[in-house]
């Protein structure tokens, strides 16, 4: 729960799909053909800005030593510019969002669709390279973190403009931080910075230099800014003025979001050509996975950022070059019960849901090995807790997935006064134990998991009703009206660091989903988690942070506020029409290098 920005709900199952396509090249964009090489770029100048990883490079001189020196020089010059000329293929990249975005405000993002738009349009001070997992300069050319871990100073690029022509300066950064940390906004991104009480201060030293000071040390502070899109303080339409490679040009609810190339985007490739190469990105809104798969096969969309195991196996048997299984991803599938005091559910059911033994019994009664084998075809493994084993440093290796033990589950329930009468489980007051689980319609894996959970719990006398909703309606219930009993969803992990989960574990957080936005912790174990999460966030010692977060994972397993089910493998697909794709494990796996993605020329002309 998913860059350092906070975990969030994922309509597609929360996978961290990734892996490099076999047909793609690393290191430089593909030159699909040399036919366009004769079109010499006009007005190219050496650019002082560092070229992003994966952009075109000049062909080494020694490759042409079979000819004379003049020929070698001409060929080297020719190929340098042919790569740059052809890389900018133009055209429109197409793929699907699985729900309408809840917001275009980059500081209020809490859903997967809105996060996709933020990544493609938002300009950030620094970016965590999704392949190397290291922070790299973006709008900031350099930064310095104070020894006490409370302050960070950014040196900013100059002569940068938003897509609407508004100038970028340190004042925009200051205004963004002020609004991001406003408690009234309830920003999941802002939650990741909260390590102590008190206000965040900004000091604008000059238009190109700013210092941000937090009330307490913030561990791994620099990488947190990967999720902070800098909003214009001057533009009339602040949400639409973009510093990223694209801007929002059009939106038709239930149909599409159209992003167009930012004419003022600052980054250039090694040959001096302005990025991005694509003219536009069309994000269709399509919750149905069957239709998504069908249209990918037809060539109507260019990539699928996450595949379920069934579709993956089908594609792999027909077109193995377009799919990849990267092994366990970072994200999780889980269910939970609504414990919110204002939820419109009977008091006796809330009492069940607030019982640790009840939650642990439900957890032990679920056969996770069957979920991994049947639902995911072996492309998943039972989940041990909040952190996937793919997160090698932060995963608590002492934890193991709960064993399937329906007999043990009944023993726990009996301790709480539950009893079996015939095939039905009753509580101490005689109420039959039944509840509903909501999940998102069109996600076959979740629907199958819900059905299998229904069957497993039926074996211990619990009657489960599975309710499928469109994703927007589901989010409304779990984030606004609180009108549900249990939920089955995935949470997206976009960063390896536990600070990315501050908006999940803090009892006051928006996505503390079983009982969000608590004024003060309602249980002793939640108070302990609050303390541990703040302590690890304030510590600058990795070993101490590890001890704290290991204990958070242990408490989560002991208390089961989230019942973690499986960690899915990272499965993705990218069409052969897309050049320079190189999927990775961290989100966004298939289009993390959107600036240098291009369409092959014969394809670009058809889009």
More confident residue, 14 or 196: 196
Checking 319-324 for CB contacts under 8 A at 24+ apart, the result is: 320/22, 321/21, 321/22, 321/23, 321/576, 322/21, 322/23, 322/573, 322/574, 322/575, 322/576, 323/571, 323/572, 323/573, 324/18, 324/19, 324/20, 324/21, 324/22, 324/571, 324/572, 324/573, 324/583
Q: Residue 11 has what pLDDT?
A: 56
Confidence at 300, pLDDT banded by 50, 70, 90? very high
**Average pLDDT along the chain:** 85
More confident residue, 148 or 41: 148
Tokens of 21: 């396509």
Mean pLDDT of 233-237: 89
Which of 20-24, 399-403, 432-436 is the least confident region? 20-24
Mean pLDDT of 252-266: 97
Distance CA 401, CA 371 (A): 13
Which of 216-225, 282-291, 357-366, 454-463 is the least confident region? 216-225
Which of 187-191, 408-412, 529-533 is the least confident region? 187-191
Q: Percentage of the chain with pLDDT > 90?
A: 67
Q: Residue 131 has what pLDDT?
A: 79
Q: Residue 9 has what pLDDT?
A: 53
Q: Residue 552 has what pLDDT?
A: 98
- Per-residue pLDDT of 552-583, as tens digits, reads 999 999 999 999 999 988 899 999 999 999 88
Helix, strand, or coil (residue 392): coil
Residue 467: which of 431, 439, 444 has the closest Cα?
439
Given a contact cutoff of 8 angstroms between Cβ atoms, the answer to whether 521 and 507 are in contact is yes
Phi first, then psi, for residue 274 (nearest 5°) are: -65, 140
More confident residue, 36 or 155: 155
Confidence at 72, pLDDT banded by 50, 70, 90? very low
Counted residue by residue, the chain has a size of 607
Place of tokens 């699985």: 98
Distance CA 319, CA 95 (A): 19
Distance CA 441, CA 156 (A): 45
Residue 119: which of 238, 295, 243 has the closest Cα?
243
Q: Residue 418 has what pLDDT?
A: 98
Collect all residues with Cβ–Cβ distance below 8 Å to 227 and sequence separation of at least 6.
Answer: 3, 4, 5, 6, 118, 124, 189, 192, 494
* CA distances to 337, 340, 362, 534 from 462, in Å: 14, 22, 9, 38
Tokens of 506: 């803090």
CA angle 386, 391, 392 (to 5 degrees): 120
Phi first, then psi, for residue 240 (nearest 5°) are: -100, -15
Q: What are the helix (H) ranges across 181-255?
A: 188-191, 221-224
- Per-residue pLDDT of 7-46, as tens digits, reads 545 555 433 322 222 223 333 444 333 333 333 323 323 3
Distance CA 310, CA 172 (A): 46
- β-bridge partners, 503: none
Mean pLDDT of 340-360: 97
Confidence at 81, pLDDT banded by 50, 70, 90? very low
Q: Residue 87 has what pLDDT?
A: 44
Question: End-to-end alpha-carbon separation of the chain, Å?
Answer: 35
Question: How is domain 99-227 classified at the architecture level of CATH?
Answer: Alpha-Beta Complex (3.90)
């Amino acid at each position: 729960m998913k860059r350092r920005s906070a975990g969030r709900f994922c309509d597609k199952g929360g996978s961290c799909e990734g892996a490099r396509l076999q047909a793609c090249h690393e290191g430089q964009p593909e030159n699909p053909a040399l036919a366009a090489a004769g079109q010499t770029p006009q007005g190219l100048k050496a650019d002082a800005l560092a070229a992003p990883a994966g952009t075109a490079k000049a062909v080494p001189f020694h490759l042409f030593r079979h000819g004379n020196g003049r020929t070698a020089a001409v060929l080297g010059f020719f190929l340098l510019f042919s790569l740059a000329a052809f890389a900018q293929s133009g055209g429109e990249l197409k793929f699907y969002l699985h729900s309408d975005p809840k917001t275009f405000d980059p500081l209020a993002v809490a859903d997967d669709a809105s996060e996709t738009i933020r990544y493609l349009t938002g300009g950030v001070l620094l970016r965590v390279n999704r392949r190397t997992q290291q922070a790299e300069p973006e709008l900031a050319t350099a930064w310095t973190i104070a020894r006490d871990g409370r302050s960070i100073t950014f040196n900013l690029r100059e002569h940068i403009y938003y897509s609407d022509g508004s100038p970028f300066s340190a004042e925009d950064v200051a205004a963004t931080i002020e609004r991001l940390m406003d408690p009234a906004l309830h920003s999941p991104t802002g939650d990741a910075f909260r390590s102590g009480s008190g206000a965040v201060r900004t000091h604008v030293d000059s238009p190109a230099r700013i210092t941000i000071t937090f009330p307490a040390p913030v561990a791994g502070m620099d990488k947190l800014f990967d999720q902070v899109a800098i909003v214009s303080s001057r533009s009339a339409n602040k949400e639409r003025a973009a510093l990223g490679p694209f801007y929002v040009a059009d939106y038709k609810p239930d149909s599409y979001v159209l992003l167009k190339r930012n004419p003022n985007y600052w980054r250039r490739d090694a040959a001096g050509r302005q990025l991005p190469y694509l003219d536009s990105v069309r994000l269709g809104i399509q919750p149905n996975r069957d239709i998504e798969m069908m249209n990918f096969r037809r060539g109507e969309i260019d990539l699928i950022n996450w595949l379920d195991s069934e579709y993956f196996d089908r594609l792999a048997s027909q077109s193995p070059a377009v799919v990849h299984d990267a092994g366990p991803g970072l994200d999780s599938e889980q269910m939970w019960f609504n414990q919110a005091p204002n939820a419109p559910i009977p008091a006796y059911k809330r009492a069940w849901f607030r019982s640790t033994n009840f939650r642990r019994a439900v957890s032990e009664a679920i056969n996770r090995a069957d979920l991994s084998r049947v639902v995911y075809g072996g492309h998943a493994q039972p989940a041990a807790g909040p952190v996937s084993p793919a997160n090698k440093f932060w995963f608590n290796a002492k934890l193991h997935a709960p064993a399937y033990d329906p007999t043990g589950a009944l023993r726990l329930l009996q301790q709480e006064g539950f009893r079996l009468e015939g095939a039905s489980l009753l509580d101490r007051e005689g109420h039959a134990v039944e509840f509903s689980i909501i999940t998102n319609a069109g996600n076959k894996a979740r629907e199958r998991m819900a059905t299998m959970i229904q069957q497993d719990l039926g074996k211990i006398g619990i009657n489960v009703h599975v309710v499928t909703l469109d994703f927007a309606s589901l989010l409304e219930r779990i984030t606004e009206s609180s009108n549900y009993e249990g939920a089955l969803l995935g949470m997206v992990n976009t960063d390896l660091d536990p600070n990315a989960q501050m908006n999940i574990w803090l009892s006051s957080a928006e996505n503390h989903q079983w009982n969000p936005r608590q004024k003060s912790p309602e249980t002793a174990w939640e108070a302990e988690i609050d303390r541990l999460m703040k302590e690890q966030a304030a510590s600058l010692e990795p070993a101490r942070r590890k001890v704290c977060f290991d204990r958070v994972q242990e408490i989560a397993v002991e208390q089961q506020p989230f019942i973690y089910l499986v960690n899915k493998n990272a499965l993705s697909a990218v069409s052969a029409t897309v050049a320079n794709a190189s999927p990775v494990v961290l989100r966004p796996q298939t289009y993390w290098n959107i600036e240098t993605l291009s369409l092959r020329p014969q394809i670009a002309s058809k889009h």
